[in-house]
Structure 1
Amino acid sequence: MIRSIVITVFLLFSAHVLIQSQTKSLELNKKIFKAVEAQVQKTNELYVDLHQTPELSLMEFKTAEKMAYQLKQLGFEVTTNFGGNGVVGVFKNGDGKTIMLRTDMDALPIKENTGLPYASSIVMNNSEGIESPVMHACGHDMHMTTWLGILTTLVELKNEWKGTILAIAQPAEEISGGSIEMINAGLFKKFPKPDVALCYHVSAEIPAGEIGYFPGPIFAGVNSVNLTIFGVGGHGAMPHTTVDPIVLASRTVLALQTIVSREINPFNPAVVTIGSIHGGSKHNIIPDEVNMQLTIRFFTDEVYAEICEAINRIPKGIAISAGLPEDKWPKVEIKKEFTPPVANNPELVLSTVKSMQEILGEENVYQVNPATVGEDFGKYGRTEEKIPIALFWLGSVNRQKYDDYLNNAKVLPGLHNSAYLPDFEPTFKTGVAAMSKSVINLFNKK
């Protein structure tokens, strides 16, 4: 009898606590949505400005000034020109965790073809003095405005949380150099060390209003390889007197495909793509060399090491089989452009997803497959501080266009496409609401 009463009381108390928790969560949702709604028009104006005035990697001078100004308006302590054009903002709101929120700022050397009245008409020189048209074809203008919307919401609702926000506006993501420059400049030494780091990347495949996640490596690691195949040139009419590097290069192209298909464990995704091959100057001349350029993609350091070893071994074996002496063996140059995988922390992802689903609904936040694109956000998780990181896909496709894609197979412009255009308002509202709720819950998590 007493045991029954104790169980009943416990169940009633648990139900009461659950109801209180749900009520509090719903009230917080309302506050967040209200704060987000109040920002839409003003932030859309900023988005248009950023879209019209893109700047290339390492050249984000005016963009960085705009980000610094916005942070100062919100009450952040701001440091500029950090690790290049990087901007760091710190907002302290009592004792608690430190949460890092990152955006990138740079655009791409692409001529915009969206037909927008506010399309970019910017033409500028890159850091090497080469002139090109410029466009935010990877959505970094959307990243910046969503990031500022999140920060604005968190500042407005600062009574709902305690802790420190570390806000990062990073340059040079497109050339995979900005994050490491900020890290090497002392990002985690000179500013509060974050307990976690979060960011979005817009998706050109997910409709606006929805978010995709993966509790593990979500983006691939990337590096480039230059490969020179040597031979013995001569007259095209007398190939028997030569060792044709074009034939050797052709054999090499095919043989390199076996790295993924026959050497890497099928459960470990990887890509080896030969994107460029150049050799010869005239119809009847067998050249002395052929130059090739490769991109490689991987999700673990072990697979990366396997690929590199095979790229060194396979062309050499083909050269030896052709009877070439050692001084004619292929030259393999693995570039110093290594970008590690974006290895999401599973626990952080799932905790954040729970918060996102609380405010957006479970049907609008779902698991997606990893992608073989690269992003240098992963470098923030590979420092000695071992900071848990999480990147999420933020859907940006106009719903009508997405339905047209599903029903009529109409092609959607992808990222890095001259016609790519995020649907601003639903993308902004979704991204700000979901991340604001997640950050507040992370701050308050015991």
Structure 2
Amino acid sequence: MNALFQALADPGNALFGDLESIYQDLHQHPELSMQEVRTAQVAADYIEALGFEVTRKVGITGVVGVLRNGEGATVMLRADMDALPMAENTGLPYASTVRAKDEDGVEVGVAHSCGHDMHVTWLMGAARVLAEHRDAWKGTLMVVFQPGEEVGSGARSMVDDWGTDRFPKPDIILGQHVMVGAAGTVSYRPGVILSAGDSLKIRLFGRGSHGSQPQTSIDPVIMAAATTMRLQTIVSREISPLDSAVLTIGSLQAGTKENIIPDEATIKLNVRTYDEDVREYMLKSIRRICCAECDASGAERPPEFTTLSQYPLTENDAAATQRVADAFKAQFGDNALQAAPASASEDFSVFGRSWNVPYVFWFVGGTDAAVFAQAKADKQVNKIPSNHSPQFAPVIHPTLETGLQAMLSAAFAWLCPAPKA
């Protein structure tokens, strides 16, 4: 295994030239959630040529590849494929100029501003290395290219389409994400590493009227404004300072003209929590406050709640994480770091939660190491363009190499035959 990783670390290795081309191609051709037709085909064709048993269109656009290599553990490696509905502003020569229609039929820019193109490239690289070095490991490798992470429905759609004996059940599920951090580093954590995320749309119903006759209306703008302010008190006044929670109202829409009091207003909000009890309390409090503000305004209809997305906690299995950590320390030395919980959310854990299988998720730094070190020294890390910024752009090298080595190191912790006594 060490000889294999040393060969991978050689800058002259043709593999990395090929993977860089794949990455730039994927970056230039991003696709929205649940529309990842081209990306899925690129990944499926690539692993099929390597000898994987390939199943396409799992959960609409998902791809599952299975490579059987004797007796041993079944290891599942997962990468998400979708891009974001936003225009890129990186100035890169391979920047995306793609535009597409979202689920509402609105034309939007499309960009890989979360790094899923890097994730797909890593997984394709891992599939190639393991397929070409079958003498180095035993077991079954399952690679999963997942759609729709950004809308929180992709993992669930694949699980719902999985079947009972269509694919082997994994013994461990492994995944990783490129993040702001020094390129060349990996960060892991047992237990909770990513928050739960809940997004809601709330419709508040009033009674429209002329702007000159407010006494004949039930003003949903006032209702929405009061609700917005009161919702902020959940975290500041109802959640213990020892717990962590975030409530963000990202959209408040009402009316079309200055002298018309509209019939209704819409609030869209997002909640992040690290504890299931806190999560349940937050969601109940949101309903309580919205209903109370509508009552206070004399609304004739109760508010309408719609769940836009739900992401469970990503809570790494302790024993499996220790196994991964040992592999990382052996591979990366001091560049294997302990991570703090992040307020981002993922649907990666849906696989493990649905099948009662342990999983481990970790981060790979994608920021130029010198840039990150200077920002850290200046206490300006928060100014580095992060995931979902139109300027987010991981440095290709050594991010590409590190992510590939991390995925292989973790996989080898289960796939490598145990040494004989």
TM-score when normalising by structure 1:
0.85
Aligned pair in 2 of structure 1 residues 209, 216: CA closer, same or farther (>3 Å)? same
Unaligned runs of 5+ in 2: none
CA distance in 2, matches of 1:44, 1:188: 37
Deviations 1:142-170 (A, max 9, x none): 11111122222223332232110011011
Unaligned runs of 5+ in 1: 1-27
Please tell me whether the aligned partners of residues 29 and 437 of structure 1 are also in contact (alpha carbons under 8 angstroms). Answer: no
Query: Post-superposition shift, 1:106?
Result: 1.6
Q: Secondary structure at the match of 2:363?
A: strand
Corresponding residue for 2:305?
A: 333
1:271 and 2:243 are equivalent in the alignment: no
Corresponding residue for 1:289?
A: 264
CA distance in 2, matches of 1:68, 1:285: 54
Q: Secondary structure at the match of 1:396?
A: strand
CA distance in 1, matches of 2:134, 2:184: 25
Q: Secondary structure at the match of 1:337?
A: strand
2:94 to 118, 123, 126: 118
Query: Post-superposition shift, 1:412?
Result: 1.5
Higher-Rg structure is: 1
Query: Post-superposition shift, 1:388?
Result: 0.9
Corresponding residue for 2:231?
A: 256
- Letter of the aligned partner of 2:250 in structure 1? G
Corresponding residue for 1:101?
A: 77
Aligned pair in 2 of structure 1 residues 118, 243: CA closer, same or farther (>3 Å)? closer
2:404 to 411, 427, 432: 432
1:29 and 2:5 are equivalent in the alignment: no
Query: Post-superposition shift, 1:189?
Result: 3.5
CA distance in 2, matches of 1:58, 1:34: 37
Corresponding residue for 1:81?
A: 57
Please tell me whether the aligned partners of residues 183 and 364 of structure 2 are also in contact (alpha carbons under 8 angstroms). Answer: yes
Query: Post-superposition shift, 1:284?
Result: 4.8
Corresponding residue for 2:291?
A: 316
Please tell me whether the aligned partners of residues 76 and 90 of structure 1 are also in contact (alpha carbons under 8 angstroms). Answer: yes
CA distance in 2, matches of 1:94, 1:281: 65
Deviations 1:203-255 (A, max 9, x none): 0x211100112212222222222223344555656656655433333332222
Query: Post-superposition shift, 1:287?
Result: 4.1
Aligned pair in 2 of structure 1 residues 242, 56: CA closer, same or farther (>3 Å)? closer
- Letter of the aligned partner of 1:181 in structure 2? S
Q: Secondary structure at the match of 1:228?
A: strand
Query: Post-superposition shift, 1:125?
Result: 3.3
1:348 to 320, 330, 335: 320
Corresponding residue for 2:187?
A: 212
Aligned pair in 2 of structure 1 residues 109, 277: CA closer, same or farther (>3 Å)? closer
Q: Secondary structure at the match of 1:174?
A: helix
Corresponding residue for 2:140?
A: 164
Corresponding residue for 1:377?
A: 348
Please tell me whether the aligned partners of residues 211 and 366 of structure 1 are also in contact (alpha carbons under 8 angstroms). Answer: yes
Q: How many residues align?
A: 413
Corresponding residue for 1:5?
A: none
1:401 to 353, 357, 371: 371
Q: Which has the higher helix share?
A: 1
Aligned pair in 2 of structure 1 residues 116, 188: CA closer, same or farther (>3 Å)? farther
Q: Secondary structure at the match of 1:373?
A: coil
- Letter of the aligned partner of 1:95 in structure 2? E
1:365 to 325, 332, 336: 336
Q: Secondary structure at the match of 2:149?
A: coil
Corresponding residue for 2:107?
A: 131
